Structure 1
Amino acid sequence: MSMAAQVLLLLRLRGAPPAAGVPPLLAGWRRGYSQGSEYLHRSLVPTMHYQKSLPRLPIPKLEDTMRRYLNAQKPLLNDDQFRKTEQLAVSFENGVGRELHERLVAQDKQNKHTSYISGPWFDMYLKARESVVLNFNPFMVFNADPKAEYNDQLTRATNMTISALRFLKTLRAGILEPEVFHLNPSKSDTQAFKRFIRFVPSSLSWFGAYMVNAYPLDMSQYFRLFNSTRLPKQGKDELFTDEKERHLLVLRKGNFYIFDAIDKDGNIVKPSEIHAHLKYILSDNSPVTAFPLASLPSENRDTWALLRQELLDNGNEEALRKVDSAIFCLCLDDFSIKDLVHLSHTMLHGDGINRWYDKSFNLILSKDGTAAIHFEHSWGDGVAVLRFQNEVFKDSVQSPAITPESQPAAVDSSKAVQKLNFKLNDALKEGISKAKQHFDATMKTLTFEILQFKRGGKEFLKKQKLSPDAVTQLAFQVAFLQQYDQTVATYESCSTAAFKHGRTETIRPASIHTKTCAEALVRKSSQRSAAELRQIIAECSKYHGQLTKEAAMGQGFDRHLFGLRYLAESMGMPLPSFYQDQAYAQINHNILSTSTLSSPAVNIGGFGPVVADGFGVGYSVHDDWIGVNVSAYPSRNGQEFLQCVHKSLEDIFNVLESTQVGG
């Protein structure tokens, strides 16, 4: 796979606009629902047609990994620290690291059905004992329906539920369009090509796509979107999926409701009936539950595992099974959204009463119809969730199942909707109360701050022949240096879905180039001319582009080193001294954890800091503005950080405008 192809693929994965020729998301939306339409579309090419022939995730050469690792350490260490780390790296590369690498390569050759990172990555998530809330689960908010009257909570909840069910049916019927990046859509995204490629055997289909510059993506995670839950277990959780179940789980005021959303023949229940059932739930006057069971999945995983066992032992097995096996969890909130900060808190963690954090995803609708997806991260990554979100938004807007004038079906929802009751003994009541107290205390410590930089965005930066992502990441480096007089470990996630069972790789935005640039911009004593500063910014952009390409091709260093360490631990080897280096711990203590995406379906997204003294930085570079959503705990000042980010962007734009190239 050519580097150019991989780069463009990466841009798609990380939020670039669709290729030319792809119709706009809202082109030609229809107000009416086509009765009997169970599917989003019918792909000529089977959904999993390319899966068998996807290229395998490469294991980088050990010498390349060590070189990249040391390059990433340079801006973080002083000369003495770097010399020590370099010696440990050389010793590791020539000794135990070489032995581990060779074993990893041999093991990989024996497991051609998967990737070397897949198993260890699942283990990393499932063995983590911290709460999934704030530590792992992110959120992505839908844009509003462009037709204002369709944003009514009941109308939108019904339409989005139907669209989600249509996605499920399309996926399971094998007629969901495969996820493919088209470099030359006039050749590959055509009916003629699809009619041809569908007859190419699955074992060769990827190569057929490659011949016309099309790059299929891994879709192995998609089946976990539905009927799936993370189950707490002592030491290591489990992922549970039961595709036979047909019911939806709805939470309101901490009360649990279920009803069949798919009938016994496998058809979606009539939209008017789902409309009626959701109206019935919204009109239920039951108070907020005194002991909110939903706070339990916010607990430490071992604590939650013990309490879950207590629930099972106390006669709640059937009720829990209904929760775990539900198609997905629909959360209906009883309040409207005040502003973007309130929105972020609501969708990232809520009140600990009206979410089931272990579900593969929660579809949340506030009283004003604001909608979001909150998802559990162990089963999959943003690529699968974003595809689902895009399809649900597009379908619910273009082909809404009901209109604001639609009348619910005249059915007896009191019989169709079952309210789940849980038997709670004193130990469970105490466990729930403690979980809720712990939840409330933790959430009070989290802050969100929002920045919208309106001076320019993608269009201006591309005219300056600079990477918009690189410039935004540079602004974070400049800002942190300005605020704390430090350069710190920085993480930017990058999908490796171009490979079979790929997950993510890390881009390391803090480099010697960004450090030089940040010091030149922050420390005015440097006396650099605008032309010199522009040249340094260009070098940052070029180097960031190289790191991005390498990560997209599975040629970072983080996953390789993680895999080698995991292998050493699984073999019972003593931990090599390389991994005991303080510098290794420091570079994996990601104070700036960042992630970007943009989509016509998504308004804003975010996540918690990954370390107590860190920032969680969700950002998006739009055509003419840049948005940043920052979370922090008390040891960091998010508001001040964003003030510094704003100043950094101003300084960078001043340099670029005063030395402008291009129109």
Structure 2
Amino acid sequence: MFVLTRNKFQKIMIKRGGIVLTQRLARSTVSSYDISEYQYLQVSKVPTLHFQASLPRLPIPKLEDTCKRYLNAQKPLLNEKELQNTSACISKFLANEGQSLQKQLIHINNENSHTSYISEPWFDMYLRDRKPLPINYNPFLVYSPESDPKYDTQLVKATNLVVSSLRFLKSLKNNILEPEVFHMKPEKSDTELFRNVTRLIPPRFSWYGAYLFKAFPLDMSQYKNLFNTTRIPGLEKDVIFHDSSAKHLVVLRRGHFYAFDVLDSNDFIRSPKEIAACLKAILEDDRPPNKHPVGVLTTSERDQWAQARSHLVETGNREILKKIDSAVFAMILDDEVIGTDHNKLLRTYLHADGTNRWFDKSFSLIVSKDGCSGINFEHSWGDGVAVLRYFQDVKADISKNPKFHPNEVNELTQESANIERLQFSIDAESENIINQQKAKYQDWINRLCIDYTIYEEFGKNQCKKLRVSPDAVMQLAFQLALYILENKVVPTYESCSTAAYKHGRTETIRPCTLETKKICIAMTRQQTELSKSDLKNMILDCSKAHNVLTKEAVMGQGFDRHLFVLKKISEKSGSTKPVIFQDPAYDALNHNILSTSTLSSPVVIAGGFGPVVADGYGIGYMIQDERLGTVVTSYEGNRNATKYVQTLEHAFKKIHDVLSK
């Protein structure tokens, strides 16, 4: 046995990008909270970013393929005359401006081999949009409850979420978080052999080694912005701020802000009891709700928030704002009791009343008074793959390996609670802006409809037995429900990750196809000569078409991002807008009435986002082994989420009835 100081211990832990695990440290000389078992969530044999250098680049589709796919997406939506016009516009584009724009894109891509062609314009698109973040952009996810209700009390749950999040952060920063890999055949690649072999391959070739195992490493460039990151409003364009040196957490309760260090001077995670003591002191602070909750300003239109923030800086709040911006993340402690009120749950995590939120943070963990917990995250810095990985890893840790236990609550001492209260200086102008925004936001959320359905009759397992894609079933149900209500199909967006490529973001799947339109018409006829066997074959055809679109999108062969970037290049050149973008059908296709996205996981009980257009539906959905779940949002006076959800239940039953025969 030997003795190590904290500094010496930390120095020897890093060796060739990995951790030297010290199994037997003298408990009398080294705190149990200093050892890697506590400090790290994972200790991967393969360094976190081992595959990053060799990831393939996002391909630029052939212009002819993009135009063909774009036309196919328009076919179910346009009448014959409109389709002829769109087809003519596409032909002109292919013969003229399209070729020049494609050459420019290829040149730009070749000059920036370190990234993808979509990365910069996609960041720019997010950061230039002036719409408020909540509902419009920030999605939410809610955790399933713990098996032991004692671990779902607010203090215990919040403490364990903080500790496990920090363990994830430490593993990420030290390059020992397990790399994100998609395993085609987990039984062959999610193995010790895979890890032992690939870690020995030099990083610039490592992707190819993984490929031999039919495993596909995913881009992890977004992960660093999970922590210590905030989107800061600016006039015309926001910026993403990141400060990896910050060691503190920001906590919001009743509209008040608090901060305390969760990492010590050596970057060691403070003990669970120290963190719990700080959270307990905040929960016991009996101040009434803040009369001037600055957080509500993050619900503003971005230019307005930029101006209000500038005034806050001018009136002596620069350091407080910096403290919030640089915090590891935001912990939200709500006084709300969710109970069994599902509508309250959805609204709490999607938007709340804005007074106890800071929507600009990369993510906020939210814990209600009765221990319900979840996440609301800002979307510009990254996509669902990174967030879901963090979300699932933390859930596994707090469930299987909680570091703070209910019986320790009574052992907490106030002496270890070293908390800083962040007190904004609010003048009459800021007070007026806050009051106006509270009223404006309340009016906005009052117009939002939100509802949900869980279909328990079948899920992923039965879909596979029936040889139909579960995602295709969900997307068909969304189309069928809309068709039943309105007797038409509409532009539809499904998000798909392109994280298999370096700095990939997302691509669009266009699930409204000729096949879905055909089956929707057939299933809504009062009388049909088609048998259930015929209808089933039509659903299978629909599933096959959807699978092709999904495969194309995953492989960077969709058309939406390609056309988006060509349009941006054209706009920068200042030349006449290409005819393909002058066509009303282009804007119509991008006015997505049905905007859909899924982050399916057994640990997620709800998730969603707002409509992306005023007259549309925002549809977050989950596909689990034995059930299908959907959260739908809309705005009053345009479309009705509750009516749509009721019709969606009917659509699920109709599809299930046909498939089961």
The letter of the residue matching 1:145 is E
Contact 1:275 1:408 in 2 (8 A): no
Distance 1:342 1:40 in 2: 32
- When structure 1 is superposed on structure 2, of 615-624 and 62-71 the one drifting more is 615-624
Which of 429, 435, 444 is the matching residue for 1:433? 435
Please list the CA deviations of residues 38-73 of structure 1 after superposition, one character each: whole Å capped at 9, or x if unmatched.
Answer: 001211111100000000000110111011001000
Partner residue in 2 for 1:625: 627
Partner residue in 1 for 2:67: 66
Give secondary structure in 2 for the equivalent of 1:362: strand
Matched, 1:636 2:636: no
Partner residue in 2 for 1:240: 241
The letter of the residue matching 2:658 is V
Distance 1:413 1:34 in 2: 18
The letter of the residue matching 1:44 is K
Cα offset for 1:536? 1.0
Cα offset for 1:462? 1.4
Partner residue in 1 for 2:190: 189
Kindly tell me the number of residue pairs found equivalent between the two proteins. 625
Cα offset for 1:94? 1.2
Gaps of 5+ in 1: 1-32, 659-663
Alignment of structure 1 residues 486-565 onto 2, 5 Å:
486-565=488-567
Cα offset for 1:443? 0.4
Distance 1:408 1:80, change over 3 A: farther
- When structure 1 is superposed on structure 2, of 405-414 and 197-206 the one drifting more is 405-414
Partner residue in 2 for 1:5: none
Contact 1:273 1:411 in 2 (8 A): no
Contact 2:33 2:270 in 1 (8 A): no
Distance 1:549 1:331 in 2: 39
Matched, 1:645 2:648: yes
Distance 1:222 1:457 in 2: 31
The letter of the residue matching 2:223 is Y
Give secondary structure in 1 for the equivalent of 2:660: helix
Distance 2:590 2:528 in 1: 31
Please list the CA deviations of residues 220-251 of structure 1 after superposition, one character each: whole Å capped at 9, or x if unmatched.
Answer: 00000111000000000000000111000000
Distance 1:637 1:385 in 2: 30
The letter of the residue matching 2:515 is H
Partner residue in 2 for 1:481: 483
Give secondary structure in 2 for the equivalent of 1:630: strand
Distance 1:68 1:471 in 2: 22
Alignment of structure 1 residues 105-124 onto 2, 5 Å:
105-124=106-125
Cα offset for 1:413? 5.3
- When structure 1 is superposed on structure 2, of 369-378 and 526-535 the one drifting more is 526-535
The letter of the residue matching 2:133 is V
The letter of the residue matching 1:200 is I
Partner residue in 1 for 2:298: 297
Distance 1:72 1:506 in 2: 11
Cα offset for 1:188? 2.8
The letter of the residue matching 1:554 is G
The letter of the residue matching 1:434 is Q
- When structure 1 is superposed on structure 2, of 165-174 and 36-45 the one drifting more is 36-45
Contact 1:280 1:413 in 2 (8 A): no
Cα offset for 1:199? 2.3
Contact 2:33 2:269 in 1 (8 A): no
The letter of the residue matching 1:368 is D
Partner residue in 1 for 2:226: 225
Give secondary structure in 2 for the equivalent of 1:331: strand
The letter of the residue matching 2:541 is E
Distance 1:41 1:581, change over 3 A: same
The letter of the residue matching 1:639 is T
Contact 2:55 2:502 in 1 (8 A): yes
Contact 1:249 1:323 in 2 (8 A): yes
Distance 1:652 1:495 in 2: 27
- What's the RMSD between the two structures over aligned residues? 1.3
Contact 1:131 1:301 in 2 (8 A): yes
Partner residue in 1 for 2:350: 348
Please list the CA deviations of residues 305-361 of structure 1 after superposition, one character each: whole Å capped at 9, or x if unmatched.
Answer: 001110111111111100100000000000211422111100001111111100000
Q: TM-score, normalised by structure 1?
A: 0.93
The letter of the residue matching 1:229 is T
Alignment of structure 1 residues 224-303 onto 2, 5 Å:
224-303=225-304
Which of 369, 375, 378 is the matching residue for 2:377? 375
Give secondary structure in 2 for the equivalent of 1:59: coil
Distance 1:324 1:228 in 2: 6
Cα offset for 1:34? 6.4
Percent same amino acid at aligned positions?
48
Give secondary structure in 2 for the equivalent of 1:616: strand
Distance 2:502 2:563 in 1: 20
Partner residue in 2 for 1:401: 403
Contact 1:594 1:618 in 2 (8 A): yes
Partner residue in 1 for 2:5: none
The letter of the residue matching 1:164 is S
Contact 1:59 1:554 in 2 (8 A): yes
Partner residue in 2 for 1:657: 660
The letter of the residue matching 1:650 is K
The letter of the residue matching 1:311 is L
Distance 1:622 1:304 in 2: 39
Give secondary structure in 2 for the equivalent of 1:628: strand
Cα offset for 1:601? 2.1
Partner residue in 2 for 1:9: none
Distance 1:90 1:295 in 2: 49
Partner residue in 1 for 2:8: none
The letter of the residue matching 1:557 is F
Distance 1:367 1:275 in 2: 15
Cα offset for 1:183? 2.3
Cα offset for 1:189? 2.6
Distance 1:312 1:156 in 2: 35
- When structure 1 is superposed on structure 2, of 417-426 and 639-648 the one drifting more is 639-648
Please list the CA deviations of residues 567-622 of structure 1 after superposition, one character each: whole Å capped at 9, or x if unmatched.
Answer: 11122223222112111111000000011122132111010000000001111122
Distance 1:359 1:111 in 2: 29
Cα offset for 1:525? 4.1
The letter of the residue matching 1:83 is Q
Distance 2:192 2:654 in 1: 49
Contact 1:276 1:408 in 2 (8 A): no
Contact 1:470 1:540 in 2 (8 A): yes
Distance 1:62 1:163 in 2: 46
Gaps of 5+ in 2: 1-30
Partner residue in 2 for 1:597: 599
Cα offset for 1:408? 4.5
Contact 2:384 2:599 in 1 (8 A): no
Give secondary structure in 2 for the equivalent of 1:40: coil
The letter of the residue matching 1:66 is C
Which of 386, 389, 397 is the matching residue for 1:387? 389
Please list the CA deviations of residues 473-498 of structure 1 after superposition, one character each: whole Å capped at 9, or x if unmatched.
Answer: 11111110110111100001000000
Please list the CA deviations of residues 521-580 of structure 1 after superposition, one character each: whole Å capped at 9, or x if unmatched.
Answer: 112244322122111111101000100100000111100000101111122223222112
Contact 2:42 2:168 in 1 (8 A): no
Contact 2:388 2:599 in 1 (8 A): no
Contact 1:595 1:617 in 2 (8 A): yes
Distance 2:32 2:619 in 1: 41
Partner residue in 2 for 1:147: 148
